[in-house]
């Protein structure tokens, strides 16, 4: 009997040893309309890839099981016919979509208007980060009604608070990334916050990036752009270019820059809401320092002359304006590697770039310093 017990125990151990470790994703879908629909598991960053697996939502839940040779970025989502692709704030997943690190572990997925996957240290760290920035963005939502107010003073104050929260969220993201550079999801967060992080901060993070971070889709292109930006970095002389003014007259950037004035080059467009929000501040700075040796040159990424002219009039812009009406293909923007607007470049009296992407009160403070 004892011998039989030993044999049975040995057999159980052999079975246990032969079982491969695997993953199990237990998901919750918080929308009755998605009952009976399929959730698909995809590799991250390949729009043409076929799904790796799928599961049908039953009673608001689904389960996916399998094995993973090594940790990898994956996405959970429905077909676009079922859940159309939607905009997601930086750092967040799309609606009923989740990007996560898949490894052989038990994972919990919540697919909702704000989705998360938890169950491993990498995924848990990002879920905790998202919880923090969501509470900050909730404060922004409370300002939306005031932003639509006809009370200009209240509206301007709300805009300043809104922008301050944006900066605080970006700072929170930068701090998170700085301490989690071995996490592949950090690369995803970096990519989504690329427009909110200063060039300097991006370079600092990339300098300490792990191979895992560098291999995330989209990161190699950002690294290449950062290398290109060094050609027009702070400390470099401005790069000249020809372009027509609003009256169709041929001009050059050097008609305004490098001629003994402190100049702010402002890449903007009439269709850009953040640009329009920033414009009253530029109007005030221009009014305050124009007579003291300060100039602004607007470079518009508009594509229609009438919209450009209307924007100039509506926003009380009185400084020189240039555009080739090529939208995002603007030749001047290409030389300065502009990929988001508003984008500002501050140049000193000798034509040396001294600051980039200053906004709000930062502009007035720096201009005052340079004009001393």
Which residue segments constitute the domains of the chain, with CATH numbers given? 19-118 (2.60.40.10), 123-231 (no CATH), 242-370 (3.40.30.10)
Mean pLDDT value of segment 293-312: 97
Tokens of 121: 């240290």
Let me know: does 157 contact 163? Beta carbons within 8 Å.
no
pLDDT digits (tens, 9 = 90+) for 93-125: 989 999 999 999 999 999 999 999 999 999 999
Q: Check residue 86 and give its pLDDT.
A: 87
Q: Check residue 19 and give its pLDDT.
A: 57
Q: Check residue 74 and give its pLDDT.
A: 98
Phi, psi for residue 20 in degrees, rounded to 5: -80, 140
Residue position matching structure tokens 């909110």: 196
Q: Can you give the three-state secondary structure of 111-171, one letter per residue?
A: ECCCCEEECCHHHHHHHHHHHHHHHHHHHHHCCHHHHCCCCHHHHHHHHHHHHHHHHHHHH
Least confident among 19-23, 46-50, 332-336, 358-362: 19-23
What's the CA gap between 297 and 345, in Å, rounded?
Answer: 10
Number of separate helices (H) and strands (E) present in the chain: 12, 15
Q: Check residue 220 and give its pLDDT.
A: 95
Tokens of 347: 């140049």
Q: Check residue 305 and give its pLDDT.
A: 97
* Average predicted confidence (pLDDT) for the chain: 92
DSSP string, 285-321: HHHHHGGGTEEEEEEE--S-HHHHHHHHHHTT--S-E
> Shortest CA distance to 101 belongs to which of 83, 79, 116?
116
pLDDT digits (tens, 9 = 90+) for 170-198: 999 999 999 999 999 999 999 999 989 98
């Amino acid at each position: 009997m004892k011998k039989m017990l030993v044999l049975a125990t040995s057999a159980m151990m052999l079975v246990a040893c032969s079982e491969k470790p695997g993953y199990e994703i237990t998901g919750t879908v918080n929308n009755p309309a998605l009952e009976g629909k399929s959730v698909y598991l995809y590799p991250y960053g390949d729009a043409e890839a076929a799904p790796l697996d799928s599961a049908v939502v039953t009673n608001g839940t689904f389960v996916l099981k399998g094995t993973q040779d090594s940790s990898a970025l994956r996405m959970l989502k429905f077909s676009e016919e079922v859940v159309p692709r939607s905009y997601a704030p930086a750092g967040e997943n799309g609606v009923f979509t989740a990007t996560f690190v898949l490894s052989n572990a038990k994972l919990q997925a919540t697919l909702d208007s704000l989705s998360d996957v938890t169950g491993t240290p990498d995924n848990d760290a990002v879920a905790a980060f998202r919880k923090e920035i969501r509470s900050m963005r909730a404060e922004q939502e409370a300002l939306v009604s005031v932003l639509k107010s006809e009370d200009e003073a209240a509206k301007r104050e709300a805009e300043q608070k809104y922008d301050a929260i944006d900066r605080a969220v970006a700072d929170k993201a930068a701090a998170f990334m700085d301490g989690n550079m071995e996490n592949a999801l950090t690369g995803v967060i970096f990519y989504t916050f690329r427009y909110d992080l200063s060039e300097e901060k991006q370079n600092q993070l990339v300098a300490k990036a792990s191979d895992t971070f560098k291999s995330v889709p989209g990161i190699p292109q950002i690294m290449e752009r950062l290398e290109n930006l060094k050609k027009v970095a702070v400390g470099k002389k401005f790069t000249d270019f020809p372009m027509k003014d609003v009256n169709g007259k041929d001009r050059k950037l050097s008609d305004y820059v490098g001629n003994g004035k402190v100049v702010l080059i402002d890449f903007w467009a009439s269709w850009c809401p953040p640009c329009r929000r920033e414009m009253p501040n530029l109007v005030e700075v221009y009014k305050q320092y124009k007579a003291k040796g300060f100039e602004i040159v607007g470079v518009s990424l508009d594509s229609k002359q009438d919209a450009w002219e209307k924007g100039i009039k509506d926003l009380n812009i009185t400084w020189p304006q240039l555009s080739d009406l090529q939208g995002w293909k603007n030749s001047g923007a290409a030389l300065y590697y502009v990929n988001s607007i508003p984008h500002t470049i501050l140049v000193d009296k000798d034509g040396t770039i001294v600051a980039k992407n200053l906004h709000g009160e930062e502009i007035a403070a720096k201009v005052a310093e340079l004009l001393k």
